[in-house]
């Protein structure tokens, strides 16, 4: 077996090379072998400098996250980095690409850092609910100053090589093919000197900072830090770096790290990290399946959905042909796409050239015939089976033989749609979420006959356009909307029993959702799927629509909105609810927040269990991935199924029974055996 750490002696320089694909994680084996190599450098008087470098497409993704939660094995990463920093010989680190977490912290423990232009450096630990625990919170501020260190540590977003050089995090940037040679030259250049910068000993960048910077940072990022433990600890740790001697600061960092890594939030966020990566894998797919090449994509419909879907492909450089029935609708759709891109450019997230580049890939047409050379066609037409069937019949006649034909349906039976073509194996569901250019989730709906090749292509494509894809079997509403329906049912019932929209919504926002069901309805529009010609005052929603309360766009829905879209509860809505409640004969009563939470969330978990039982989802973690990326479920609880695991499946079971709901067999069995949904 190839060793993950190799050493080579070149004159007076020891080169230590890390090679641990796929991401050069600092696993126990790597740490032990690297510590031995560092020891060699310390012992051998002939060695006057060290170069640390890596093989592969990046420097390192950091500590091996799979080892978290087990007892620490020596040398720990902090111990290894200390041994590097304490070496009485200069160490130059050559970052050949991405250096994250422990990968960045090890660089901070070296005296000199050299890299290539494409490198991204960062401390993303906060995203998995921890803080940099190998000296990052104490060394980074000492190297780049508090103002620069705070956002890197607290947001977890990486910076590029140029910025890293500007703030003093790297010393030199060189061309990739020169990296090794330049690192060697750097090492030889500094070998004879004895004034090497030692990060932990530096005070020059932390002695004059504005003490108000921490509170200002908390204030500025308050909304995104809400409910999260790790960012608060990150801020606290950086503050301590400015107040305590290094040894005391590092002891505090370790204490915070251990506390966070063993806490529920980090366990949940680590689950989310692996769940997203697992979701891209399709069970039972033959190993030799190759994706089909996709270059040109056809989209039917230039409305909100079609336009949003088109933007995904345009941004990723695919040619897109968008077809509508009328020129006016096409023009409007194209106008909105351009407006969206220009808004992104105004925020500095796109250049004017990139806007034109994306728009340059778009062609429009009124004729399906223009789909003839498309590799993939996605329809985003009205959600009615007859219309979908008509569209797929036409596509079948026009598309080339190996083209993939996809439906963006959010509920309908993909098998029935596929059956009206001569090639159901080429048909798949691609369920995007609105706004489709922003939401990360994509449900890839696998029909009974969808071919493995089409599935593999869809999953690959999702990654290329930056989506998190989850495979779903065919059922009404697939994974996400099927579970959502259970929550909506309860939300409506709760109103009839005495809860108010604001109370129900608040229970969910307190839980960590960005909004509750009634706020969501107001945002989406109460009239989605409502028909003014056939309306019959059958429920609260219909009556509100009839009264012109159609959501935020009309200034009123379940709530009243002012000109700044601030909402207040509405007496009119309360009266409508009271009328329906009286008709339903249900006794109005005070309902506790706890009951609301249980009745909204437990039935979702139960539906998730049914979805698993029926094989609609491949694994529990896929359900979590859907809810976190498509419906705002707070990631720090791990998603519905992981959350249920955390609070205990027996608790969920008892709750369902208490509220008179029928638990699924899978939930009963797992609860009885003390098992979890997620392994
Ligand atoms: C840390 O460093 C702690 C210290 O502060 C303190 C310690 C005391 N460990 O994402 P990909 C797997 S905390 C284990 O598809 P990409 C991943 O699951 C760490 N495994 O590749 C996947 O496995 P599989 C701080 C890891 O090129 C495979 O590698 N660092 C790790 O799209 C490929 O991953 C982070 O939080 C890991 N650290 O993106 C960075 N990283 O093939 C986490 C990846 O079986 N990592 N895997 O599904 C990332 O952000 C991305 O993986 C990275 C590569 C950008 C590196």
Q: What is the three-class DSSP state of 18?
A: strand
CATH 1.10.1040.10 fits 500-584, yes or no: yes
By CB atoms closer than 10 A (0-12, 13-18, 19+), residue 238 is buried
Task: Write the pLDDT tens digit of every residue in 586-632.
Answer: 888 999 999 999 999 999 999 999 999 999 999 999 999 999 999 99
Contact by Cβ (8 Å): 670, 676: yes
604's tokens: 């979702």
**Paired sense of beta strands 91-95 and 112-115, if any:** parallel
Distance from the CA of 62 to the center of ligand 1, in angstroms?
A: 7
Q: Which atom of ligand 1 is nearest to the CA of 102?
A: 2
Distance from the CA of 139 to the center of ligand 1, in angstroms?
A: 22
> How is the chain split into domains, by residue range?
5-265, 296-476, 500-584, 593-672
Task: Write the pLDDT tens digit of every residue in 58-109.
Answer: 999 999 999 998 999 999 999 999 999 999 999 999 999 999 999 999 999 9
The C-alpha angle with vertex 138 and arms to 137 and 139, in degrees rounded to 5, equals: 105
Q: Which of 10, 55, 79, 125 is catalytic?
A: 125
Distance from the CA of 302 to the center of ligand 1, in angstroms?
A: 38
Distance from the CA of 19 to the center of ligand 1, in angstroms?
A: 15
CATH of 296-476, one of 3.40.50.720, 1.10.3720.10, 3.30.470.20, 3.40.50.150: 3.40.50.720
Q: Give the dihedral of Cα atoms 272, 275, 279, 280; nearest 10 deg.
A: 90
Pocket mutation for ligand 1, best pick of 18, 20, 21, 23 (most atoms within 8 Å of C-beta): 23
Contacts of 94 (CB under 8 A, 6+ apart): 51, 52, 53, 54, 114, 115, 179, 180, 182, 183
- For residue 96, which of 180, 10, 169, 211 has the smallest C-alpha distance? 180
Q: Which atom of ligand 1 is nearest to the CA of 128?
A: 36
Q: Which atom of ligand 1 is nearest to the CA of 278?
A: 48
CB of 61 within 6 A of ligand 1: the answer is yes
Task: Write the pLDDT tens digit of every residue in 48-63.
Answer: 999 999 999 999 999 9
DSSP state of 618: S
The C-alpha angle with vertex 600 and arms to 596 and 604, in degrees rounded to 5, equals: 155
Contact by Cβ (8 Å): 220, 147: no
CATH class of 5-265: alpha beta
Q: What is the three-class DSSP state of 54?
A: strand
How many Cα atoms sit within 13 Å of 353 on the Cβ side?
0
Task: Write the pLDDT tens digit of every residue in 333-358.
Answer: 999 999 999 999 999 999 999 999 99
> Cβ–Cβ contacts within 10 Å for residue 679, how many?
9
Contact by Cβ (8 Å): 461, 566: no
Going by CA atoms, what residue is nearest to atom 41 of ligand 1?
Answer: 61
Where is 461: in which H helix or E strand? Answer: helix 452-464
- For residue 87, which of 126, 136, 40 has the smallest C-alpha distance? 40
Q: Is 489 a catalytic residue?
A: no
How far are the Cα atoms of 140, 459, 536, 609, 627 from residue 522, in angstroms, in the given order? 45, 33, 20, 30, 20
CB of 134 within 6 A of ligand 1: the answer is yes
Going by CA atoms, what residue is nearest to atom 24 of ligand 1?
Answer: 277
CB of 98 within 6 A of ligand 1: the answer is yes
Contacts of 529 (CB under 8 A, 6+ apart): 383
Contact by Cβ (8 Å): 513, 500: no
- For residue 524, which of 546, 503, 545 has the smallest C-alpha distance? 545
Domains 500-584 and 593-672 belong to one CATH topology: yes
Going by CA atoms, what residue is nearest to atom 46 of ligand 1?
Answer: 61
Q: How far is CA 152 from the centre of its chain?
A: 18
CB of 128 within 6 A of ligand 1: the answer is yes
The residue-averaged pLDDT of 474-492 equals 97
Distance from the CA of 21 to the center of ligand 1, in angstroms?
A: 11
CATH number of 593-672: 1.10.1040.10
pLDDT higher than 70, residue 1: no
Contacts of 152 (CB under 8 A, 6+ apart): 122, 123, 140, 144, 158, 159
Handedness of CA 292, 298, 301, 303 (dihedral sign): positive
- Determine the Cα–Cα distance for residues 492 and 577; give it in Å rounded to an integer: 10
- Determine the Cα–Cα distance for residues 268 and 634; give it in Å rounded to an integer: 10
**Paired sense of beta strands 5-10 and 13-18, if any:** antiparallel
Task: Write the pLDDT tens digit of every residue in 231-271.
Answer: 999 999 999 999 999 999 999 999 999 999 999 999 999 99
CB of 101 within 6 A of ligand 1: the answer is yes
pLDDT higher than 90, residue 223: no
CB of 109 within 6 A of ligand 1: the answer is no
Q: Which atom of ligand 1 is nearest to the CA of 273?
A: 18
- Determine the Cα–Cα distance for residues 79 and 32; give it in Å rounded to an integer: 11
CB of 62 within 6 A of ligand 1: the answer is yes
Residues forming a β-bridge with 431: 443
CB of 623 within 6 A of ligand 1: the answer is no
- Determine the Cα–Cα distance for residues 259 and 234; give it in Å rounded to an integer: 12
- For residue 451, which of 616, 619, 286 has the smallest C-alpha distance? 286
CB of 125 within 6 A of ligand 1: the answer is yes
> Average model confidence (pLDDT) for the chain?
96
- Determine the Cα–Cα distance for residues 162 and 176; give it in Å rounded to an integer: 14
Q: How much is the pTM?
A: 0.95
- Determine the Cα–Cα distance for residues 146 and 100; give it in Å rounded to an integer: 19
653's tokens: 């079971």
pLDDT higher than 80, residue 2: no
Distance from the CA of 629 to the center of ligand 1, in angstroms?
A: 19
Euclidean distance between the first and the last CA atom of the chain, given in angstroms as a whole number: 30
CB of 30 within 6 A of ligand 1: the answer is no
Instruction: Give the pLDDT score at 225.
Output: 85
- Determine the Cα–Cα distance for residues 308 and 320; give it in Å rounded to an integer: 12
Contact by Cβ (8 Å): 142, 199: yes
- Residue environment code for 627-639, b if the CB has 16+ CB neighbours within 10 A, otherwise e: bbbbbbbbbbbbb
Instruction: Give the pLDDT score at 610.
Output: 98
- For residue 519, which of 569, 591, 576, 572 has the smallest C-alpha distance? 569
Pocket mutation for ligand 1, best pick of 61, 82, 104, 233 (most atoms within 8 Å of C-beta): 61
Q: Cis omega (within 30 of 0) on the bond before 615?
A: no
**Paired sense of beta strands 13-18 and 404-407, if any:** unpaired
DSSP state of 72: P
Contacts of 419 (CB under 8 A, 6+ apart): none
- Determine the Cα–Cα distance for residues 69 and 66; give it in Å rounded to an integer: 8
337's tokens: 């796409």
- For residue 3, which of 17, 23, 22, 15 has the smallest C-alpha distance? 17
List helix spans (H) across 263-321: 264-279, 304-315
Residues forming a β-bridge with 298: 321, 377
DSSP state of 479: H
The residue-averaged pLDDT of 371-397 equals 96
- For residue 482, which of 640, 595, 636, 594 has the smallest C-alpha distance? 640
Where is 341: in which H helix or E strand? Answer: helix 327-346
Residue for token digits 């969920």?
652
pLDDT higher than 90, residue 192: no
**Paired sense of beta strands 559-561 and 567-569, if any:** antiparallel
- Determine the Cα–Cα distance for residues 270 and 265; give it in Å rounded to an integer: 9
Contacts of 212 (CB under 8 A, 6+ apart): none
Contact by Cβ (8 Å): 393, 420: yes
Q: Which atom of ligand 1 is nearest to the CA of 277?
A: 48
Pocket mutation for ligand 1, best pick of 21, 22, 69, 251 (most atoms within 8 Å of C-beta): 22
CB of 63 within 6 A of ligand 1: the answer is yes
Q: Which of 85, 105, 182, 229 is catalytic?
A: 105
Contact by Cβ (8 Å): 12, 47: yes
SS3 content of the chain, % helix, strand, coil (to 5): 50, 15, 35
């Amino acid at each position: 077996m190839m060793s993950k750490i190799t050493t080579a002696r070149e004159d007076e320089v020891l080169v230590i090379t890390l090679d641990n694909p796929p991401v050069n994680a600092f696993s126990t084996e790597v740490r032990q072998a690297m510590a031995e190599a560092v020891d060699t450098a310390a012992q051998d008087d002939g060695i006057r400098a060290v170069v640390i470098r890596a093989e592969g497409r990046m420097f390192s993704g950091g500590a091996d996250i799979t080892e978290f939660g087990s007892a620490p094995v020596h040398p720990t990463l902090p111990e290894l980095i200390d041994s590097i920093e304490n070496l009485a010989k200069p160490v130059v680190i050559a970052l050949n690409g991405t250096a994250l977490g422990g990968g960045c912290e090890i660089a901070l423990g070296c005296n000199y850092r050299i890299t290539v232009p494409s490198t991204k450096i960062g401390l993303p630990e906060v995203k998995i609910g921890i803080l940099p625990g190998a000296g990052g919170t104490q060394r980074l501020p000492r190297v780049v100053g508090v103002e620069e260190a705070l956002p890197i540590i607290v947001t977890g977003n990486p910076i590029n090589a140029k910025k890293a050089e500007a703030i003093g995090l790297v010393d030199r940037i060189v061309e990739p093919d020169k990296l090794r040679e330049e690192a060697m030259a750097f090492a030889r250049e500094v070998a004879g000197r004895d004034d090497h910068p030692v990060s932990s000993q530096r005070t020059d960048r932390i002695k004059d900072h504005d003490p108000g910077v921490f509170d200002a940072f908390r204030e500025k990022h308050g909304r995104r830090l809400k409910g999260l433990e790790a960012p608060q600890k990150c801020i606290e740790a950086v503050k301590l770096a400015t107040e305590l001697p290094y040894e005391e600061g590092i002891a505090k960092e370790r204490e915070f790290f251990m506390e966070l890594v063993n806490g529920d939030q980090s366990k949940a966020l680590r689950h989310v990290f692996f769940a997203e990566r697992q979701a891209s894998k399709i069970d039972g797919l033959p190993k030799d399946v190759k994706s089909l090449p996709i270059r040109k994509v056809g989209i039917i419909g230039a409305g909100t959905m079609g336009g949003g879907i088109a933007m995904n492909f345009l941004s990723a450089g695919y040619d897109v042909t968008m077809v509508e029935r009328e020129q006016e609708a096409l023009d409007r759709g194209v106008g909105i796409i351009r407006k969206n891109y220009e808004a992104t450019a105004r925020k500095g997230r796109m250049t004017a050239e990139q806007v034109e580049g994306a728009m340059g890939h778009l062609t429009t047409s009124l004729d399906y015939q223009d789909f003839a050379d498309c590799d993939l066609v996605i329809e985003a037409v009205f959600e009615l089976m007859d219309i979908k069937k008509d569209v797929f019949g036409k596509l079948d006649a026009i598309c080339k033989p190996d083209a993939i034909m996809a439906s963006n349906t959010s509920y309908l039976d993909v098998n029935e749609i596929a059956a009206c073509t001569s090639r159901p194996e080429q048909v798949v569901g691609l369920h995007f979420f609105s706004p489709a250019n922003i939401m990360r989730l994509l449900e890839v709906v696998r029909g009974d006959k969808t071919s493995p090749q089409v599935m593999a292509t869809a999953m690959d494509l999702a990654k290329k356009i930056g989506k998190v894809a989850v495979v779903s079997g065919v059922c009404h509403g697939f994974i996400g909307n099927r579970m959502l329906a259970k929550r909506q049912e309860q939300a409506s019932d709760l109103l009839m029993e005495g809860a108010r929209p604001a109370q129900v919504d608040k229970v969910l926002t307190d839980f960590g959702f960005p909004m509750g069901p009634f706020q969501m309805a107001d945002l989406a529009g109460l009239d989605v799927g409502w028909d003014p010609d056939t309306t019959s005052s059958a429920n609260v929603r219909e009556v509100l629509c009839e009264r012109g309360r159609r959501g935020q766009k009309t200034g009123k829905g379940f709530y009243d909105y002012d000109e700044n879209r601030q909402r207040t509860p509405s007496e009119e809505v309360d009266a409508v609810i009271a009328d329906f409640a009286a008709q339903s004969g249900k006794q109005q009563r005070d309902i506790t927040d706890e009951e609301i939470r249980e009745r909204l969330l437990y039935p979702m978990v139960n539906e998730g269990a049914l979805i698993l039982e029926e094989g609609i989802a491949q694994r529990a973690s896929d359900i979590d991935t859907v809810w976190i990326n498509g419906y705002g479920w707070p990631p720090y609880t791990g998603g519905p199924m992981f959350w249920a695991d955390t609070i205990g499946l027996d608790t969920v079971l008892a709750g369902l029974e208490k509220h008179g709901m029928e638990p699924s067999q899978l939930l009963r069995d797992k609860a009885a055996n003390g098992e979890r949904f997620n392994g």
